[in-house]
Amino acid sequence: MRFTPFALAAAAIHGVAAAPSRETRPAERGFACGAPEPDAEHIKISQQFAAQEASLLASGNLTVKATTFVDVYFHVVAKSTSVSGGYVSDAQLTNQLNTLNAAYAPHGFQFSHKGTTRTINANWADDSKGYEMTMKRSLRKGSYSTLNIYFLTDMGDNLGYCYFPESGGGTSGSTTQIRDGCTVLYSTVPGGSTTNYNLGGTVTHEVGHWFGLYHTFQGGCSGSGDQVSDTPAQASASSGCPIGRDSCPSQAGLDPIHNYMDYSYDSCYEEFTPGQRARMASFWNSYRAGK
């Protein structure tokens, strides 16, 4: 949410981010993302990135890597081998990967599938039962630059959640590294059964958090919002695909209902902004690349 248009930038600032607590924040129409609520320290780091990105833009010293390749592992954690039990087919996972790559390709990121695990465990498949860390200690693959996505049968009120980049994630076996990744309701993959959210957009949204992005409605109409200069201010999450919605009429721009970091229907999602690309690059370079 912000004020002036922002051109493409990439930066790297090192800082310390405390592990934020996860909150469930339901949207107006049934979507809920359980990603962390950014704490003051994480917001401060985002502000530092914003300042450096703006400085690089003003000085003309912008350098952007054409494409960054990210290894990704899928973990299907189901209650049974039936569709109703949470089992996701290989074809659906392939379609999910293609959807993710299509969304991020214009912004310099591509995801390389390195493997899939399949686990039948009724406790792990229900996010509300509190087995998150036990599950991840058993299943997680790769380093802090490796994206792990867990597809669960039951997510309660959430469609998904993912953790922001944090300091300390590069330490092998650390709680920060083990906890990292995205957990997503299985039926949100392409061809899934969650009405209005079954085109794969939930994974795209949650991975935005993995790269350090906030919701476009972060902070509402006042304050510093999502710390990205080219996402218009937004009072609250969108419902459906409300063309022309302007929830902050005193500020420039209509609500970014097509942005992947809003809560719109999957069919409404279309874009990240250049400023969001810059922010993803900043967090990647400082917190994940080579770690």
CB 167 within 8 A of CB 175: no
Say if residues 153 and 79 touch (Cβ distance below 8 Å).
Answer: yes
Residue 233 has what DSSP assignment? Answer: -
Catalytic residue flag (residue 53): no
Closest to 8 in 3D by CA, of 67, 54, 70, 59:
54
- Do 160 and 34 contact (CB within 8 A), yes or no? yes
Q: Which of 166, 206, 270, 271 is catalytic?
A: 206
281 burial via Cβ count (<10 Å: 0-12, 13-18, 19+):
buried
CB-based burial label for 194 (10 Å; 0-12, 13-18, 19+): middle
Question: How many whole angstroms separate alpha carbon 274 and alpha carbon 269?
Answer: 16
DSSP classification of residue 35? P
Catalytic machinery residues? 206
